Amino acid sequence: TIDRHSTAKMLGFDGVVENSLDATSTRDFVAEYVAMVSILMTNLSRISEDFIIWSTSEFSFIELSDEFTSPSSVMPQKKNPDILELTRGKTAEVIGNLTAILTTIKGLASGYGRDLQQIKSSIWSTSKTSISALLIIKSIVLTMKVNTKQMKKVTESSNLIALDIAEKLVQEGIPFRVTHKISGVLVQLAHNSKKPISKLTALEIKKSVEGTTVDPKIVSEVISTTSVVSSLKDRKSFGSSGYDEQKRMISDRTQKISIWRSNMSERDNKVKSSINELQKLVDEII
């Protein structure tokens, strides 16, 4: 009789798949692994798209390193984000691997079929692609230049503080439906005059409260004390874009990554130790 628990221990596994037929024929773990990597690659693809958009002249939020771009064959001033585009393309390849694996498995009866050999190439390809993509995105983030001045300019000119103004007016005892309307008028006035809300004149602010009982001086005071920076400081809700919450989440994720790395290191050491012990037993027999 084979002691399956002892065999599992010698090979570094935490346990056994109880049903022997399931143990030899299932490839759910393969499909699950490639599915998770497909989701990972999909997110990396979305990050790549963000970086591509942000690096365009229309946005100019970031500048990609020459290491990860190529010059245009026609326009000398243009940088082509080749590596990011390839990351998007490789994502489709990984998703295709998942489709190939599921399509192979779905046509098999219970038990082992030689068809299962065909999914191995999909596993190696998926692993190689995802590891490369992670390393590349990491390097891109570390080497890119962030244009903070441009980002600040865009946020200050895009009337992002409209909601903050509405919320602060609510704190003055004004119903939200009224403050929402006032903020909407302020945005329209700012758009028509081609300037941010913070630059509106007293007369323009007075127009925003027409048809209401709100004192325009209150609106002026709220506008003068509201900015993109104050907006970030005021955001306190769990998971918000506020400074404190962003710092908390970064710290939390850093801690989780540290725990994950520790667990992976422990798992790796356990497998290596088991293999070494197994090799000793083999050497004794031979």
Which CATH number characterizes residue 77's domain?
A: 1.20.200.10
Q: Which of 127, 146, 165 is the last residue before a domain boundary?
A: 146
Residues 6+ apart with CB under 8 A from 178: 169, 212, 214
Report how many domains make up the chain: 3
Q: Which of 123, 146, 169 is the last residue before a domain boundary?
A: 146
Q: What is the pTM of this model?
A: 0.86
Asked if 135 and 66 sit in the same domain, the reply is: yes
**Residue 71 is inside which H or E element, if any?**
strand 70-71
Task: Please report, for the domain that includes residue 223, its CATH number.
Answer: 1.10.40.30
**CA gap 84, 38 in Å, rounded:** 17
Asked if 170 and 278 sit in the same domain, the reply is: no
Residue 77's Cα: distance from chain center in Å? 30
**CA gap 161, 27 in Å, rounded:** 52
Asked if 14 and 113 sit in the same domain, the reply is: yes
SS3 263: helix
Residues 6+ apart with CB under 8 A from 150: 59, 60, 61
Query: What range does the domain containing 245 cover?
Result: 240-286
Asked if 15 and 129 sit in the same domain, the reply is: yes
pLDDT tens by residue, 22-69:
888 889 999 999 999 999 999 999 999 999 999 999 999 999 999 999
pLDDT tens by residue, 164-205:
999 999 999 999 999 999 999 999 999 999 999 999 999 999
- Would you tell me how many other CB atoms lie within 10 Å of the CB of residue 25? 16
Asked if 135 and 157 sit in the same domain, the reply is: no
Asked if 181 and 127 sit in the same domain, the reply is: no
